[in-house]
Amino acid sequence: MRCTKCGRRAVINLRAHRLALCERHFVERFLEVVERAIRRYSLMSRSSRVLVAVSGGKDSLALWDALTELGYRADGLYIDLGIRRQNYSRISKEKAEAFAEQRGLRLRVFNLKEEHGFAVPELRRGSREVCSVCGIVKRHVMNRVALEGSYHVLATGHNLDDEASVLLSNLLRWNLELLARQGPRAEAWHPKLLPKVKPLCLLTEKETATYALVRGIDYVYELECPFSAGATSIAMKEALNRIEEHSPGTKLYFYTQFLRHRSAFAGERPSAEAVECKSCGLPASGEVCSFCRLLLKSRLRGEKGDN
């Protein structure tokens, strides 16, 4: 397989675009698509201070690398969730730290256990899934660190596969509220919240993995989060992959057409009240935010266990 542009050996075949590209032309295109998403969806400006949430995986590290290559001021944030199974958190953190050190970038590390006395598996309560707890923790910590560091925007490595699978799940359930909120940029509804952006939203998982390999990014690729087995998103991705195999370009068309017409769901977005958590001072839907409620219940369980 030869590069469509120059005839050199191709490293990827993009069937949806009828393009086969060599290393150089693929990297050029990858960066162009990231920049296109940033401009098309007004994700950030050249003067923005960006905090990239990194997990040690291909998507977040590829995003951090791409933003740096494009000249954006981007620091990284690794949240140590204390997942000890398969040494998941330790290995992931090592990958993120090595990436930052090799490139002379700044990586902030937030250790949940050291800061609050509990790791994510210890915060799980009742039948609540670990993934749900993890989401609450990550959202709280990302916003807190970004706010304290005077950043302008939070960036995550969600790719096209991620976004299309979430969209499919929300449509199958007709979750109008979530459909109204989905998009490449989530605006802040409170002064103590930062906008969240997804610059990889137009690039597939295959493309981010290829970019990471071509750029020599050492990421966690043989290890998945031990709590992710059976997640609904995996089933949705598998379904979309089967459709994509039969009809290349479906994922991109599905997602971009939704973005063109998402104003139809705008009326479903609830009006958010500017309430601040009595415990941490960050925005909340009630007197105490979900994160602080998790901590409180975990402490109460610990106290009962000591008695």
Q: What is the pLDDT of residue 127?
A: 42
CA distance 290 to 301: 17
| CA proximity to 41, closest of 184, 153, 161 | 184
Q: What is the pLDDT of residue 67?
A: 98
Dihedral angle computed from the Cα positions of residues 139, 79, 52 and 103, in that order, rounded to the nearest 10 degrees: 180
Q: What is the pLDDT of residue 267?
A: 65
Question: What is the topology classification, in CATH, of domain 44-272?
Answer: Rossmann fold (3.40.50)
DSSP string, 158-196: --HHHHHHHHHHHHHTT-HHHHHH-SSEE--SSTT---E
| Boundaries of every domain in the chain | 44-272, 276-307
- 307 residues of the chain, pLDDT tens digit each: 999 999 999 999 999 999 999 999 999 999 999 999 999 999 999 999 999 999 999 999 999 999 999 999 999 999 999 888 778 899 999 999 999 999 999 999 999 999 998 888 877 654 456 778 888 999 999 999 999 999 999 999 999 999 999 999 999 999 998 999 999 999 988 889 999 999 999 999 999 999 999 999 999 986 677 666 557 788 999 999 999 999 999 999 999 999 999 988 876 554 556 689 999 999 988 899 999 998 988 887 665 555 4
Q: What is the pLDDT of residue 87?
A: 86
CB 158 within 8 A of CB 255: no
Q: What is the pLDDT of residue 307?
A: 41
Give percent helix, percent strand, percent coil of the chain, each to the nearest 5.
50, 10, 35
